[in-house]
Chain A
Amino acid sequence: MMIIIKNAIRERMRKKEIYVFAALGILLLLLFGGGSTTLQINGVPVTDFSNMFGIMHGMVTVIGCLLALLISLQTIPNEYERRTSHLVWVRGISQTSYHTSLALANFLSGVIAVGILYMALAVYVIGNGETGVLIRMIPAFLILCINIGIISLLTSVLSIKLPAAVSGLIGAIVVIGGLLYGILDTYRSIMGGFTGSLLGMALRVLPDFNQIRAQSAAICKGGSIEWHGILAGLLTIYILSIGLVCLKRKEA
């Protein structure tokens, strides 16, 4: 299992588009943090650390979620396409173990990629002399990894049965919906009626990435956290993991 994970991570790390994406993310972070932007809220320049850190932390979350999606999208379909899977079956490894290993590899690759982005954020924090925040960023990163885990696992599970394009589309909808969860929930309450009910049903199945991001940001700021959002994220990972046990490919 470890060999499968190691090989899969190595392959993920060879993908050029991941580095391009991560580099763009770092560039964007440095642009914001370097003071070379004139971003304003309500006419007031956002230059102080607490404002800028919040914005940059949000950016890391969005870019990180998209990176995790990109990384996980083709792992399982590619394995089957290249018939690598047959080399695994002859060693007596079950489909569940194989898929779990690949999903874990996707998750760890996502964590590494987002970790690189987080390092850029850490550079900004050190530059501002906020060492207290730097220490709190470690548990905050672990919380953020729940989002990465959900996306990696969802895309991996979907790609067992669906073509990469379809699972990518579903993953993208879930990422956008999950990041906008708070806004969508408020819209649901404002609208009411049939549309509100429909949106309410969609929100029941959407993971609340925004809540997890908020808890991660709260840790960085030294504020109190709401455990429900974090636990709900972990439960989502658990439920998705059932897909790894239940879903099988025919060509195996």
Chain B
Amino acid sequence: MKFYKIAYIAVGVILLAACILTADKGLSQEDRQVYEQANRMQEEMQEHGFRDLILSEYKVRFFDGDYDYVMNGTEVIREDPVFQTFVGTAYEVEGEYQIVMPTLERFSQMFGILGAAGGLSQGSTSFETAAYGMEEHIATLWHEGFHAYQFTHYEENVLKLAVGLEGEGNPVLTAIDGDTAAVSLFEEGMGLLRTAYYEEDTELKIEILLQYLDKQQERDKLLTQSNTEMDLTAAERYYETIEGTARYMESLAYELQKGTGQMEVYYLGAFTYENGTDKYYSLGMLKCRILSQLTEGWEERFNFSQGIDEFFGETIFMGQLADYDI
């Protein structure tokens, strides 16, 4: 009997020890691969996008629901989380901007929960629930990495673009989304931009873009007249510039991994107007892509001192295109 008691206790001790020893898994291999693979794309990304964006300059904080796993090169350190919830952003930690994002496992789970409930429709992502995997997470890492770059190199300019937005983002968006005429003009504008993107004849492309600029001017006028208390167009320019350029980099990272066809399926599929900020991600990205079609290396001239919209308009209107006489 005594033997059975000792054996029973021993089994418990062994099980407990085995559980403790296997409990702390740290950062998964998949997340390490996401980080490493994203950094391996550096050279190709530089060729296609903003040349002075070096992803490895920014530490990446993978949040697993309990801790942040901070990756810097091959080093991984477990730290208390800077956010107690799942966010994808760039955040200043100890005087430097770092990339904050959920682990791949957590993000995939979030798609399962929130994606099904429609909770991920607010600008956060462009992927379908069942499709989110390593390639998509790498693209997201480049998106958030671009935010870290924006704030590290152009913080002053970015903050100037954000003037008037602090603490009042939602009323501004509510006012914009509530204006049915403005919504309709936005949809028409997106339609023209999409047509321009797929148009191979450059002259025709420019013609369509000029139509778009007219449409946008009409919309800006409408929004300015309909609400004199808030600067609605400034809010739009901010989101379009900051998030649109980041989405552009994200789409480039995705394109490099999955090809142009697959990228167009995800990023340039049928447009549906949604309340909130999501539409500005798509709008800004589309403008960046059209700029890349028309003028190579535009990224080197863009420093966030003006909105992407203004830069886009100037590039087309003022004959700054390198190869075309407008």
**Which of A6-14, A53-61, A69-77, A231-239 lies at the interface?**
A231-239
Q: Mark A37-57, 1 if CB is under 8 A from B, else 0.
A: 000011010000000000000
Q: Is the CB of B113 within 8 A of A189?
A: no
Q: Is the CB of A232 within 8 A of B19?
A: yes
Cβ of B191 under 8 Å from chain A: no
**Which A residues touch B26, using CB under 8 A?**
none
Q: Is the CB of A186 within 8 A of B15?
A: no
CA distance A191 to B15 in the complex (A): 32
Cβ of A183 under 8 Å from chain B: yes
**Which A residues touch B63, using CB under 8 A?**
189
Q: Is the CB of B65 within 8 A of A188?
A: yes
**Which A residues touch B106, using CB under 8 A?**
186, 189
Q: Is the CB of A192 within 8 A of B19?
A: no
Q: Is the CB of A42 within 8 A of B109?
A: no
Q: Is the CB of A183 within 8 A of B25?
A: no
Cβ of A187 under 8 Å from chain B: yes
Q: Is the CB of B18 within 8 A of A186?
A: no
A231/B15 contact (C-beta < 8 A), A182-B109, A183-B112, A186-B113 known: yes
Q: What size tier do the contact residues of chain B reach?
A: 20 to 34
Cβ of A248 under 8 Å from chain B: no
Cβ of A227 under 8 Å from chain B: yes
Q: Is the CB of B128 within 8 A of A228?
A: no
Cβ of B185 under 8 Å from chain A: no
Cβ of B50 under 8 Å from chain A: no
CA distance A37 to B106 in the complex (A): 31
CA distance A234 to B18 in the complex (A): 10
Q: Which residue, of A186, A187, A188, A228, has the highest number of chain B Cβ atoms within 10 A?
A: A186
Q: Is the CB of A190 within 8 A of B86?
A: yes
**Which A residues touch B86, using CB under 8 A?**
189-190
**Which B residues touch A130, using CB under 8 A?**
none
Nearest CB in chain A to that of B110: its residue: A186
Cβ of B84 under 8 Å from chain A: yes
CA distance A63 to B112 in the complex (A): 22
**Which A residues touch B128, using CB under 8 A?**
42
Select one of B15, B19, B23, B130 contacting A41, CB under 8 A: B130
Cβ of A17 under 8 Å from chain B: no
**Which A residues touch B129, using CB under 8 A?**
42
CA distance A228 to B28 in the complex (A): 14
Select one of A42, A44, A189, A238 contacting B85, CB under 8 A: A189
**Which B residues touch A228, using CB under 8 A?**
19, 22-23, 25
Cβ of B259 under 8 Å from chain A: no
A53 to chain B, nearest CB (A): 16
CA distance A133 to B65 in the complex (A): 34
Nearest CB in chain A to that of B131: its residue: A42
Cβ of B204 under 8 Å from chain A: no
Pairs A–B under 8 Å by Cβ, sample size 15 = A182-B109, A183-B109, A183-B113, A185-B65, A186-B65, A186-B110, A189-B65, A189-B86, A190-B114, A192-B84, A193-B84, A196-B84, A231-B15, A231-B22, A232-B19
Interface set of B (CB-CB < 8 Å, partner A): 11-12, 15-16, 18-19, 22-23, 25, 63, 65-66, 84-86, 106, 109-110, 112-114, 128-131
Interface set of A (CB-CB < 8 Å, partner B): 41-42, 44, 182-183, 185-193, 196, 226-228, 231-232, 234-235, 238
Question: Which 9 pairs of residues, A with B, have the shortest CB-CB distance?
Answer: A189-B65, A228-B22, A192-B84, A186-B109, A235-B15, A231-B18, A42-B130, A231-B19, A192-B85
